[in-house]
């Protein structure tokens, strides 16, 4: 497995652990719809939460969450809609981003709730 894939998996594992610690129920990981993927599908209370995880080995290029550009947001929203339809879920939905930056033995995790919204 490529090193960047291992780093991504590590980030997603840390993100799942963080969400569980905060009381979220994890419903799916790496759920695919067509060419789109939802990194984490979770629920807290009456809210479905679709989480995009961005992991980097350095923050020299800035916050990893900034790489979730409009195109990625659109694809994530499309996949989330497909998930809600497939499982016949009628709850409020939210889109979060978790940024994971590892440097040496240190790891910084930032959870941004309501990081982006579907366009009207």
Class of 3-116 per CATH? alpha beta
- Domain coordinates in residue numbering, the chain: 3-116
State the Cα–Cα distance between residues 91 and 41, nearest whole angstrom.
13
- Out of 13-17, 51-55, 72-76, 100-104, least confident range: 100-104
Q: DSSP letter at 90?
A: -
Check residue 6 and give its pLDDT. Answer: 75
State the Cα–Cα distance between residues 104 and 25, nearest whole angstrom.
30
Per-residue pLDDT at 62 exceeds 80: no
Q: Look at residue 54 and give its three-state secondary structure.
A: strand
Cα-Cα-Cα-Cα dihedral sign, residues 98, 11, 82, 23: negative
| H/E stretch holding 52 | strand 47-56
Span 21-44, pLDDT tens digits: 999 999 999 999 999 999 999 999
CA 28 to chain centroid, in Å, comes to 11
Does this model's pTM top 0.85? yes
Which residue did the predictor score with more confidence, 112 or 11? 112
Per-residue pLDDT at 50 exceeds 70: yes
């Amino acid at each position: 497995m490529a090193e960047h894939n291992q780093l991504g998996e590590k980030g997603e594992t840390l993100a799942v652990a963080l969400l569980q610690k905060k009381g979220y129920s994890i419903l799916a990981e790496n759920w695919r719809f067509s060419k789109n993927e939802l990194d984490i599908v979770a629920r807290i209370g009456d809210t479905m939460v679709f989480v995009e995880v961005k992991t980097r080995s350095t923050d020299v290029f800035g916050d990893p969450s900034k790489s979730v550009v409009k195109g990625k947001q659109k694809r994530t929203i499309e996949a989330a809609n497909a998930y809600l339809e497939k499982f016949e879920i009628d709850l409020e939905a939210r889109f979060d981003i978790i940024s994971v930056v590892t440097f040496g033995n240190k790891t910084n995790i930032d959870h941004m709730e309501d990081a982006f919204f579907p366009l009207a």
